[in-house]
Amino acid sequence: MELILAVVIAVVVAVAVTGGLVISGRKKKQLPPAEPPSTAPTITAPPAEPHVGDEAEAPREETRRTVEEVGLPETETETETETAEATAEPEAPVVTEPEAPAAPAVEVPEPTAGRLVRLRARLSRSQNSLGKGLLTLLSREHLDEDTWEEIEETLLTADVGVAPTQELVERLRDRVKVLGTRTPEELRGLLREELVALLGPDLDRAVKTESPEDVPGVVMVVGVNGTGKTTTTGKLARVLVADGKSVVLGAADTFRAAAADQLQTWGDRVGARTVRGPEGGDPASIAYDAVKEGIAEKADVVLIDTAGRLHTKTGLMDELGKVKRVVEKHGPLDEVLLVLDATTGQNGLIQARVFAEVVAITGIVLTKLDGTAKGGIVIAVQRELGVPVKLIGLGEGPDDLAPFEPGAFVDALIGDPS
């Protein structure tokens, strides 16, 4: 019996195991059958770039099926889902173009009225040796020949020039004899009157910027390299803009490297357009185009910066004359300003003579006047050329170019008692 019972139990167990396998097999049959592998070779294209959403969904479905069939805990399902999401390719970052830098703000130049008065202290610091020296000599109790010779030497040292010096000394001698008693106030007034008279207070010192024809006024700026010619052209543009005029700049100095860039920087600061050409290009052609552009834009003034030709180079000076002739094809040239470095003294006068022969100078700009004690060059250069000093430079600042005023200039030389 025991043997029969063991056999029955073994049969029951075998049937149970077989039924489990059948059930498990039935469950597997319900899954979609796998496609048999193809015997023909296939060429597969590179897989398309997966989308983040699709790639995250596929593992989630397969994970659920595994949980139902195998019975894995839910925590493992979440882990596999997080792994699939982590391996998904991230979206490309959005690249934003950097904003273009804002255009520099256009500056409003300082008004020109009274500029020289405001700059008087700067001028007087370097000129006191002339004015105070003369007042000291004139205040001596006895004005003998030796004293007058010292006065004459003081004037010559200040580059007043031989002829103007002799004229001034003679007039001072006559007036001192008539005056008799010489108080400091009387001597100062006497010296002031004579110096102002030498400077020509009645000369027209206005920069001509208005054409008699229906075209812009044209101003040509000439001078030797190193005198501050291009800088003066830029500062003059500021003066004109401050007086309410529209300006076009012509960068005809193609001889010096970066001169056009320098001039354009000055123009951009006050909203003045700069017409330029290639480095080493024809200066006359650029000057012609600048005037043509000024006419098209109906500008008030065209400023032409020319090459700083050495006065000893005959060919280069001839080229400067060509620039003048080409510009005059559009209309008359209203102003030709010669820029001189006040510190060069008599050498500046030699330059002035040669330039005057080529382009008929109508006005003078004296730069670096604050850096020299030779303020008498103003008198000498006017006498040499027969044209007035119209502008003076008194520093490196953008608004340190001032209209020349004889009275204010002399007050800076000898001190203003007020």
The answer to whether 246 and 300 are in contact (CB under 8 A) is yes
Instruction: State residue 304's pLDDT score.
Output: 96
Please report which helix (H) or strand (E) contains residue 390, including its range: strand 389-393
Average pLDDT on 259-280 reads: 91
Instruction: Give the count of alpha carbons within 13 A of 219, CB side only.
Output: 28
CA 161 to chain centre: 38
Residue ranges with strand state E in 197-348:
217-222, 247-252, 273-275, 301-306, 335-341
Instruction: State residue 158's pLDDT score.
Output: 84
Instruction: State residue 1's pLDDT score.
Output: 53
List C-alpha distances in Å: 111 to 32, 243, 399. 92, 7, 9
The 10s digit of each residue's pLDDT in 208-247 is 998 888 889 999 999 887 888 999 999 999 999 988 999 9
The 10s digit of each residue's pLDDT in 100-140 is 445 557 777 777 777 777 767 766 665 566 777 888 888 88
Instruction: State residue 54's pLDDT score.
Output: 43
Instruction: State residue 338's pLDDT score.
Output: 94
The 10s digit of each residue's pLDDT in 4-24 is 656 556 554 454 444 443 333
What does DSSP say about strands 401-403 and 335-341: parallel, antiparallel, or unpaired? unpaired
| Predicted confidence (pLDDT) at residue 264 exceeds the cutoff of 50 | yes
The answer to whether 211 and 331 are in contact (CB under 8 A) is yes
From 12-21, 233-242, 342-351, 369-378, the region with the lowest mean pLDDT = 12-21
For the record, the structure tokens of 52 come out as 């983040």
Burial of 38 (0-12, 13-18, 19+ CB in 10 A): exposed
Q: What domains can be seen in the chain, in order of their start residue? A: 217-361 (3.40.50.300)
DSSP helix/strand/coil, 375: coil
